[in-house]
């Protein structure tokens, strides 16, 4: 009788909407990863699952990312458990380092962090029960999702280069005349700063995920004490941007100014595949754009600028943080915009699309968190409409935009600003209002009769 009651309770718990939603999300994610794995194998390269499995033994691609992922996982641990986990990861990495040094293999750290995360998953399944098991598995899943997102992104970029032989850089470069060709100007400025400015911007550009982890660690600082995750945090926005963005690459394939119009700036360039050797000193001429065939190696990862979208998400999520994080979020956004333009990785219109994309994704996730209503529908629909209008104008109206820059340029800035303004105004209304306490009236003192 008791076992029948327990089974009914378990079945009822499994039927809860939140559990069903997580199960569906897990199944979709697994199916997505398997699909990417099969697609990558068709082109003779390992997919995200294989790449992640190889890093258990072989040198990882990014050690800092693995340790940042482990740090995210450790938000569910006590301080004693965190010291044990960090010590175990460092010890394992030292052992791997000695073996690689002795065998003259490729040197990179990070295996220890991955081993610790996998070990915590095993501990959660075998040694934890109930809410503690779920909490630890959520922590491990959060850390592994960040790594899986990176591997998935790499596979997506491979697919874009293999399946989209023609690129639309001429259309975007023509539309960029409306903004005054900012990538060309930024490229000359970055070159003028010399190696110091180049190295700083390059570090900011590469370590964007680590900056996101720092912000997320602050947002999740109370998870160990409260034994639960907040309903919304930066990693959710990061993962959704990384999941949806590459799909748009397939619709609007663009390689970027340094590849389409450069032949060697900063050690990169399109070489013989470049349309012309113009970047960053000579803006492209205003001609009728057309698709251009490009190589099958360079990713078509410009439209929209996901680095801009991710940096914008960091900026949004630091607005209610301590002052040092607010300053860091602002710096990372400005430095990322400077790097994407100054290294020739993006056109100016890419950045505008990236900002609109980030605010639309963030509005969608916040709406799901608080409960969908009419204001959420208006906000998300408006952001999606502006984003679609931007991409449509880049593709079908670039010549008109370039002929009338004093009209089209301000309109582009106004469209982006309107999305930002709509987001800030709407989300401000969503914030809980704390009623101001009204002073209680004290009874007047009674005078005693003489």
267 has pLDDT over 60: no
87 has pLDDT over 70: yes
Say how far apart CA 244 and CA 358 lie, in whole Å. 11
Q: Quick one: how many helices (H) and strands (E) in the chain?
A: 19, 2
State the pLDDT at residue 89: 95
303 within 8 A of 413, measured Cβ to Cβ? no
264-293 burial, b if ≥16 CB within 10 A, otherwise e? ebbebbbeebbbeebbbeebbeeeebeebe
State the pLDDT at residue 449: 47
State the pLDDT at residue 2: 46
Say how far apart CA 270 and CA 136 lie, in whole Å. 47
Q: Given pLDDT bands bounded at 50, 70 and 90, which one contains residue 296?
A: confident
Q: State percent of the chain over pLDDT 70.
A: 89
State the pLDDT at residue 37: 80
* Placement of tokens 């409260």 in the chain: 226
400 against 450, higher pLDDT = 400
Alpha helices in 343-404 (DSSP H): 348-370, 374-396, 398-403
Q: Given pLDDT bands bounded at 50, 70 and 90, which one contains residue 167?
A: very high
Which of the 8 DSSP states describes residue 357? Answer: H
Characterise 232 by phi-psi region: left (phi > 0), alpha (psi -120 to 50), beta (else). beta
Mean pLDDT of 100-118: 90
CB-facing half-sphere around the CA of 174: CA atoms within 13 A: 20
Say how far apart CA 235 and CA 72 lie, in whole Å. 10
Q: Which helix (H) or strand (E) holds 219?
A: helix 208-219
Mean pLDDT of 271-300: 88
State the pLDDT at residue 431: 79
Report pLDDT digits (tens) over 202-259.
Answer: 888 888 888 888 899 999 998 988 888 888 889 889 888 988 888 899 999 999 999 9
State the pLDDT at residue 11: 47
Mean pLDDT of 177-196: 91
Say how far apart CA 142 and CA 147 lie, in whole Å. 9
Report pLDDT digits (tens) over 321-361.
Answer: 899 999 999 999 999 999 999 999 999 999 999 999 999 99
Relative to beta strand 166-167, strand 292-293 is: antiparallel
Say how far apart CA 230 and CA 236 lie, in whole Å. 11
261 within 8 A of 278, measured Cβ to Cβ? yes
Mean pLDDT of 59-84: 90
Q: State percent of the chain over pLDDT 90.
A: 49
Q: How far is CA 146 from the centre of its chain?
A: 9
Q: Given pLDDT bands bounded at 50, 70 and 90, which one contains residue 14?
A: very low
Q: How far is CA 440 from the centre of its chain?
A: 50
Mean pLDDT of 61-79: 89
Bridge partners (DSSP) of residue 263 are 269
83 within 8 A of 129, measured Cβ to Cβ? no
44 has pLDDT over 80: no
């Amino acid at each position: 009788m008791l076992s029948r009651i327990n089974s009914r309770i378990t079945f009822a718990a499994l039927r809860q909407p939140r559990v069903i939603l997580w199960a569906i999300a897990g199944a979709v994610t697994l199916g997505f990863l398997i699909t990417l794995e099969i697609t990558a194998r068709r082109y003779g390269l390992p997919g995200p699952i294989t790449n992640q499995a190889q890093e258990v033994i072989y040198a990882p691609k990014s050690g800092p990312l693995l340790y940042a992922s482990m740090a995210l996982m450790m938000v569910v641990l006590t301080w004693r458990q965190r010291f044990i986990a960090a010590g175990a990861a460092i010890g394992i990495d030292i052992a791997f380092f000695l073996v690689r040094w002795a065998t003259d293999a490729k040197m990179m750290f990070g295996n220890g962090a991955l081993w610790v995360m996998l070990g915590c998953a095993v501990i959660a399944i075998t040694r934890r029960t109930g809410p503690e098991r779920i909490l630890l598995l959520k922590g491990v899943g959060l850390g592994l999702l960040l790594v899986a997102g990176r591997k998935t992104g790499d596979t997506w970029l491979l697919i874009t280069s293999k399946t989209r032989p023609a690129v639309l850089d001429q259309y975007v470069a023509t539309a960029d005349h409306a903004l005054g060709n900012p990538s060309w100007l930024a490229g000359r400025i970055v070159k003028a700063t010399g190696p110091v400015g180049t190295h700083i911007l390059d570090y900011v550009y590469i370590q964007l995920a680590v900056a996101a982890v720092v912000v997320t660690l602050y947002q999740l600082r109370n998870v160990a004490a409260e034994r639960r995750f907040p309903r919304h945090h930066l990693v959710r926005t990061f993962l959704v941007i990384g999941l949806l963005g590459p799909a748009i690459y397939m619709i609007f394939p663009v390689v970027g100014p340094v590849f389409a119009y450069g032949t060697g700036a900063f050690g990169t360039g399109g070489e013989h595949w470049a349309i012309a050797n113009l970047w960053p000193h000579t803006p492209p001429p205003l001609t009728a754009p057309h698709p251009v065939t490009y190589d099958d190696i360079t990713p078509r990862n410009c439209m929209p600028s996901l680095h801009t979208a991710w940096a914008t998400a960091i900026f949004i999520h630091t607005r209610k943080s301590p002052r040092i994080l607010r300053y860091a979020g602002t710096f990372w956004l400005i430095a990322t915009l400077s790097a994407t333009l100054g290294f020739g990785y993006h056109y100016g219109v890419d950045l505008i699309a990236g900002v609109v994309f980030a605010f639309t994704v963030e509005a969608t996730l916040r709406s799901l968190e608080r409960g969908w209503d009419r204001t959420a529908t208006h906000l998300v629909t408006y952001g999606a409409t502006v984003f679609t209008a931007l991409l449509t104008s880049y593709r079908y109206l670039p010549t008109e935009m370039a002929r009338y820059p004093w009209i089209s340029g301000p309109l582009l800035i106004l469209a982006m600003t309107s999305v930002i303004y709509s987001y800030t105004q709407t989300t401000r209304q969503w914030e809980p209002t704390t009623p101001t306490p009204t002073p209680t009236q004290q009874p007047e003192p009674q005078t005693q009769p003489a």
